[in-house]
Copies of this chain bind each other. A is one copy, B any other.
Amino acid sequence: MEAFSDGVLAIIITIMVLEFKVPEGHDWHSLIELSPKVLSYIFSFIYIGIYWNNHHHLLHMVRTMNGRLMWLNLILLFWLSLIPFTTAWMGESQFAPTPMALYGIILLLAAISYRLLQLAIISQHSGDSAFVKSMGRDWKVKISPVLYLLAILTAYVGPWVSGFFYVLVAAIWVVPEKRIEHILRSE
């Protein structure tokens, strides 16, 4: 299951580049016109990178593979497979409200699928209370859907407001946890 998922994620991350159509001009100016596409690509690259990393760790905790886990995993991959499309739309529309909202909807649905997969795997470790605790209190997994929801709701307020929440989700996943804990404590 891991090899297949890794393959799908590797393809998703790479086919997004196919959206960068070769510009007609041969100067820096024609390259700058691509910048909204590049920016949205960077975002999605980071998101897929985060998923790949966490998904990897999650699958290692699977005790016995079964049909339910397999389908929960496929549902997660389904939502992730739509990211190249929403990324391209967001970039091409230069961060128009609807594409930005759709981006959040897809990410929200992926996050919910991830949580369901995680809960199904946690339930396999019901005897190991320490494990259940550590997984159960995964605050990043819990807070991300809330931030995606805020990004969706503010998409029509302005791209910068919505974009702020997308940056925030990426940041809490990319920045190592210890540093975040330190920041939270010092506040």
Chain A residues in contact with chain B, CB under 8 A?
Answer: 3-4, 6-15, 17-20, 22-23, 26-28, 31, 42, 45, 49, 52-53, 56, 67-68, 70-71, 74, 77-78, 81-82, 84-85, 88-89, 92-93, 96-99, 102, 174, 176
Contact = CB atoms under 8 A, between A and B. Distances in A.
Given A6-B7, A23-B89, A71-B49, A14 B12 contact: yes
A70 B54 CA distance: 11
A6 B8 CA distance: 10
B67 A17 contact: no
Contact of A8 (B10, B26, B53, B176): B10
Given A4-B9, A26-B98, 4 more contacts: A4-B6, A4-B56, A7-B10, A27-B98
29 contacts: A3-B6, A4-B10, A4-B56, A6-B7, A7-B11, A11-B14, A11-B15, A12-B14, A15-B18, A17-B81, A17-B82, A17-B84, A18-B18, A18-B84, A19-B22, A26-B89, A26-B93, A26-B96, A26-B97, A26-B98, A31-B98, A42-B78, A45-B74, A45-B78, A45-B81, A49-B71, A53-B70, A67-B176, A71-B174
